[in-house]
Amino acid sequence: GAVVSQHPSWVICKSGTSVKIECRSLDFQATTMFWYRQFPKQSLMLMATSNEGSKATYEQGVEKDKFLINHASLTLSTLTVTSAHPEDSSFYICSARTLAGGPGELFFGEGSRLTVL
Amino acid sequence: DAKTTQPPSMDCAEGRAANLPCNHSTISGNEYVYWYRQIHSQGPQYIIHGLKNNETNEMASLIITEDRKSSTLILPHATLRDTAVYYCISHSQGAQKLVFGQGTRLTINP
A111 pLDDT more than 70:
yes
- The CA-CA-CA angle for residues B72, B75, B78, to 5°, reads 140
B93 closest CB neighbour out of A102, A109, A110: A102
- Is the backbone of residue A65 left (phi > 0), alpha (psi -120 to 50) or beta? alpha
Q: How confident is the model at residue A107 (pLDDT cuts 50, 70, 90)?
A: confident
The 3-state DSSP class for residue B81 equals helix
Helices and strands of chain A, counted as H and E runs: 0, 11
**Who wins on pLDDT, A22 or A96?**
A22
Per-residue pLDDT tens over the stretch B33-56: 999 999 988 999 989 999 998 999
Is the minimum CB–CB distance between B103 and chain A shorter than 8 Å? yes
Per-residue pLDDT tens over the stretch B12-34: 999 999 999 999 999 988 889 99
Flag if A103 and B100 touch (Cβ within 8 Å).
no
Task: State the pairing for strand pair B70-75/B61-64.
Answer: antiparallel
Q: How far off is chain B from A20, nearest CA to CA, in Å?
A: 18
